[in-house]
Amino acid sequence: MRSAFSKDFWRSISHSWGRFLAIAAIVALGAGFYAGLRMTAPDMELAADAYYDGTDLYDIRVLSTMGLTDDDIAALEKIEGVGGVMGAYQVDAMSLMGGEQVTVRIHSLDIDAARVSDTSDGLNAVSDDSDYLNRPLLVEGTWPTEPDECVVSADAVMATPLKVGDTIELSEGSQDFDDTLVSKTYTITGFVRASYYMSSGSLGTTSLGSGALAQYMYVPTSSFKADQPYTEAYVAVAGAKDEFASGEGYAERVAAVLTRIEDAAPSLEARRLDEVKREAQDELDKNREEYERERADAQTQLDEAKQKLDDAKQELDAAKETLDATPSQLDGAAATIESSEQRISSGQAEYDAGVAELANQRTEAQGRFDAAQAEIDEQQAQLDTAQATLSRLEPQLEAAKQQLAGMQPTDPGYGELAAQVAALEENVEKIKTALAGGIPALEQARSELAAAKDTAEKQFAAAQARLDQAAAELSDGRAQLEQGRAQLASGQQDYENGKQSYEEGLGEYEDGLAEYQSQKAEAEEKFADAEKEIDDAQAEIDDIEAPEIYVMDRTKNVGAESFKSDAQRVDQIAQVFPFIFFLVAALVALTTMTRMVEDERVLIGTFKALGYSRARISMKYLAYAGIASGTGALVGILALSQLLPAVIMNAYGIIYTVPVAPTPIDPVFAAISAGLGIGVTLAATAAAAVATLREQPATLMLPRAPKAGKRILLERIGPLWRRMSFSWKVTFRNIFRYKKRFFMTLIGIAGCTALLLTGLGLSDAINDIITKQFGQIYQYNTTIGLSDDPTDDDMGKVRSAIDDKNAIEAYTYADTTSMTASAPGEKDQSVHVIVPEDPEAFQSFVTMRERVGHVPLELSGEAVLVSEKIATELGLQVGDPITLSKQDAIGNTTDEGYTVTVTGIMENYVSQYVFMTPELYERVSGEAPEFTTIFAKASSDPAVRSGLSDELLSIESVRTVGYNDETIDSYEKMLGSVNSIVVVLVVAAAALAFVVLYNLTNINITERQREIATLKVLGFTTREVDAYIFREIMLLTVIGCLAGLVFGVFMENFVVVTAEVDQVMFGREIHAMSFVIAFLLTIAFAVLVALAMRRKLAKIDMVESLKSIE
């Protein structure tokens, strides 16, 4: 039979569920939260480990500045501890995907191995090929088969989602594509998830575009041109899979192999150097031979030419001699001709004179003859006239005679007629006489004339003949002279010709000579150049340094590392956060068990009187507390160790693509958590019981004297006290009378408010990133990235695009570079160094101000402004130095860098920046800034924007066009995931508030049952009785709220600073609204509890409560 004592024990549980559950609940919350939160980070790491193991993520990555050959791969495989080695190619590119310009990293994929791998469970890629590493999981579609097919990330956020079948066009690359890839256009065959890229948001940095990768794709290895070395080798460490990825064992194993690889690296480097040198040397030698050959040829040609020239010279010299002799000859001939000419001239003159003479004579003779003739003719004419007249007159006479004959002398005119006839007859007679005498005279004259003429003729003819002869002689002479002249002329002509030819020939020769000389000189120059080149090349070859091999483990993988650090952040919060619950749990347990002990005071006295030992009696209460807290811890841990990690991993799932979220219960944490929860409760119980148990039984059995009333401090403030209403006086006295309860309520409520404020503040912080960064700090909304050396032509096109006021309201130029910032003693950070072309104008594109007070910061002269997060990470204040160094593609610093002094710390939430003026930049870096980034305020009309993008991207020198909207979207997603955490916090806060308040009120009411009953007896209405009790609660709640708001500010700050991800600063302000909501919500909880407790108050039976102890 069970002992009566234990019966009493069990009944005490069943008779006071409220008490039991209060303890169980608060311990459940505390232990559950602690366990759940502490298990989250390990769960996250478990998930990562499962994912890495399932997809054979590399353990070590080997890069060489000269690439890796198959020999290198073989050498790596031989190293002890190496499980599998995969050589791979990688290249970054600007691409056009779904109408967007996207920076993408292209990886080679062993498509045969991929096809054979089983990725159906979404977590593991099962394959036997130990050299197939970094296995992507096929999420949708199929693996690529042709060199121009690819698979892309299933999780990267794109403005327009991609589909199977879409094409991707590559435009620019980190290396020349023609040397690297077979195709520039790819077709998407499917979507994958790669553990290599755990973080779907940040895939890594690149030297292209905006500096951040937006996508990754896998193409068949055959897409990469065959003759190039691997860009990298991935190594799996044997046995590493069996270790836990974030554990010591794993790190040790990998470190061992890593060291071995590093040790082997120099020989690999040396071999590669030899190889490369040899290749280069062979090529150089070949070229040298060719050079020698061609040089010989050229020399021969030159010699030939020289010979020809010399021959020509000889000919010319001979010709010169001849020519030199000719002029004197010609002169002689000319003289001869002159004298001949003279003779002929004089001869001609004589002849001419003779001719003239003869002509004169002839003329004279002719004149005489003509005169004679004329006379004769005249005579003749006269005779003829006479004859004619006669002829005329005769008929006339005849006619007249006839007429006369015919007429009678009496006829009128007869007389005239007869006179006429007589005249006529006279005339006729005269004429006839003249004729008779004239004609013979004439004949004589004629014949005389004729004879004279004859003689003259003969004379003349003879003269003429003599003249003719002379003429003939002259003309002969002339002809000869002509001939001679012609000969002279032709002789001269020949001489001239000859001279000209000679001149020409000389000229040609000289030209030829000059050309020869210049060709020779040119040739010599070229020879010299070629030889110099060859010498230089040789020197270069001689100078070739050994390649550097970089050996990296997973800590350099962006996704894996940031996941790890986020898990660590959660852990940091987990180590601090839940203690508020434990504190409250302790207080609740303390008060509850104190109450219980109080209530059972008489019972305890009775037990003692009966002879039960103190230990036995305290066992009852310890067991009670133990069972209550044990149950609570069990339930809480079971529930929250599943719920909390799941919620948090889900929240992180927005940023990380881990396909699994395991929530095993870690026995250690569960034990610690339960231990803490139970331990705290037991300790409180012991504290509550110990004092009572020490008392004497008799004392215990008497009703405890109620705690004496005392004057409180407030009473001494006379004026205030007098004015207070009665009920308020009671309230204040009560509050200060029960100090333990006062503090407990305060802490519980403060905790609740603090939790609420933290949740709301967190939501504000993330919201602020968007509103403040993109609303207030960034006043631009578009960035345009140009290539390093844009052509003038292209710049003109760019300008015409951006000068369009419809598309872009304003723009300015700047130089943006990714650099490494460092400060002594701190970890290096990656920053964007921005040098605006016009610092003053730039202020209207980016607001530069201090966060606290919004004090504006100037960018001029020596100013160096750094964003706040960088300043915090590097521990910088105004006046401290910051060193900026260049980075290579993998983020290693490549030079010493330069140091500048921070002049201002700028409010900024997204990315890390350092701003400086062009003058300062040039002075410290020694280089002029290249303003190849354009910050612009573009129209928000999507049609205008896409038109602008199209126009700009079609220009070759334009690399990227980015709009801030895309970034805002991804942050809003992050905000969505944080909301779920906020909900958890609010629920926890509510639970805390309820448990604390309910418990306290319960105790309060129970303890003052008599008092309350008395009030009822006195005739206080229900409302008055409620008010009597609840006034206290509300006052305590209000005070607790205010304390909680203060505490919450610190708690929120702690959570925000710890949970912040790299590269982002969460807003540091808690909005006024959040304070109001936290306050009101807590009050609301209190009111709810009060309403719930009203029933209890109502149930207090006056009769029962006031029963005397009989």
Q: Which two tokens stand for residue 618?
A: 């305290």
Contact (CB, 8 A) for 268 and 77: no
Choice between 974 and 1012, CB closer to another protein: 1012
Q: Which residues contact 714 (CB under 8 A, 6 or more apart)?
A: 720, 721, 732, 736
Q: Does 1099 bind another protein (CB under 8 A)?
A: no
Listed ranges 212-220, 363-371, 812-820, 1098-1106: which one lies at the site for another protein (CB under 8 A): 1098-1106
Choice between 707 and 723, CB closer to another protein: 707
Percent of the chain that is helix, strand, coil (3-state, to 5)? 65, 15, 20
Assign 960 to helix, strand or coil: strand
Q: Exactly one of 1013, 1029, 1051, 1086 binds another protein (CB under 8 A); which one?
A: 1013
Q: Does 314 bind another protein (CB under 8 A)?
A: no
For another protein, how many residues bind (rule: CB under 8 A)?
31
Q: How far is the CB of 568 from another protein (least distance, A)?
A: 52
Q: Does 527 bind another protein (CB under 8 A)?
A: no
Q: Which residues pair with 682 in a beta bridge?
A: none
Q: Which residues contact 896 (CB under 8 A, 6 or more apart)?
A: 885
Q: How far is the CB of 34 from another protein (least distance, A)?
A: 39
Q: How many CB atoms lie within 10 A of CB 980?
A: 13
Choice between 805 and 1023, CB closer to another protein: 1023
Q: How far is the CB of 730 from another protein (least distance, A)?
A: 6
Q: Does 328 bind another protein (CB under 8 A)?
A: no
Question: What is the distance, to the nearest Å, from the Cα of residue 721 to the centroid of all Cα atoms in its chain?
Answer: 72
Q: How far is the CB of 1038 from another protein (least distance, A)?
A: 21
Q: How far is the CB of 723 from another protein (least distance, A)?
A: 15
Q: How far is the CB of 718 from another protein (least distance, A)?
A: 13
> Rounded to a whole number, what is the largest CA-CA distance in the chain?
239
Q: Does 1022 bind another protein (CB under 8 A)?
A: yes
Stated length of the chain: 1110
Assign 251 to helix, strand or coil: helix
Which pairing describes strands 137-141 and 808-822: parallel, antiparallel, or unpaired?
unpaired
Q: Does 1094 bind another protein (CB under 8 A)?
A: no
Q: Which residues pair with 934 in a beta bridge?
A: 784, 813
Choice between 985 and 1003, CB closer to another protein: 1003
Residue with the two structure tokens 């038109």: 947
Choice between 611 and 726, CB closer to another protein: 726
Q: Does 1004 bind another protein (CB under 8 A)?
A: no
Assign 201 to helix, strand or coil: coil
Listed ranges 439-447, 668-676, 1011-1019, 1042-1050: which one lies at the site for another protein (CB under 8 A): 1011-1019
Q: How far is the CB of 1020 from another protein (least distance, A)?
A: 7
Q: Does 844 bind another protein (CB under 8 A)?
A: no
Contact (CB, 8 A) for 357 and 441: no
Choice between 501 and 1014, CB closer to another protein: 1014
| Range list of β-strands (E), 964-1081 | none
Q: Does 1108 bind another protein (CB under 8 A)?
A: yes
Q: How many CB atoms lie within 10 A of CB 927?
A: 9
Contact (CB, 8 A) for 337 and 488: yes
Q: How far is the CB of 732 from another protein (least distance, A)?
A: 10
Q: Assign residue 543 a region (left: φ > 0; alpha: ψ between -120 and 50; beta: otherwise).
A: alpha
Choice between 226 and 1109, CB closer to another protein: 1109
Helix (H) or strand (E) holding 189: strand 185-193
Q: Does 771 bind another protein (CB under 8 A)?
A: no
Q: Exactly one of 290, 576, 1021, 1080 binds another protein (CB under 8 A); which one?
A: 1021
Q: What does the alpha-carbon distance between residue 380 and residue 735 come to, in Å, rounded to a whole number?
A: 192
Q: How far is the CB of 621 from another protein (least distance, A)?
A: 26
Choice between 366 and 1014, CB closer to another protein: 1014
Choice between 119 and 734, CB closer to another protein: 734
* Residues between 695 and 754 that touch another protein (CB under 8 A): 705-710, 726, 729-730, 733-734, 737
* Residues between 245 and 284 that touch another protein (CB under 8 A): none
Assign 411 to helix, strand or coil: coil
Q: Which residues pair with 905 in a beta bridge?
A: 866
Choice between 1011 and 1069, CB closer to another protein: 1011
- Closest CA relative to residue 57, chosen from 250, 243, 234, 254: 234
Q: Does 161 bind another protein (CB under 8 A)?
A: no
Q: Does 1016 bind another protein (CB under 8 A)?
A: yes
Q: Does 1095 bind another protein (CB under 8 A)?
A: no
Query: Phi, psi at residue 1043, to the nearest 5°?
Result: -60, -40
Assign 1005 to helix, strand or coil: helix
Cα atoms in the 13 Å half-sphere on the side-chain side of 266: 2
Q: How far is the CB of 1007 from another protein (least distance, A)?
A: 11
Choice between 434 and 1106, CB closer to another protein: 1106
Contact (CB, 8 A) for 582 and 751: no
Q: Which positions lie near another protein, rule CB under 8 A?
A: 705-710, 726, 729-730, 733-734, 737, 1010-1011, 1013-1022, 1024, 1102-1103, 1106, 1108-1110
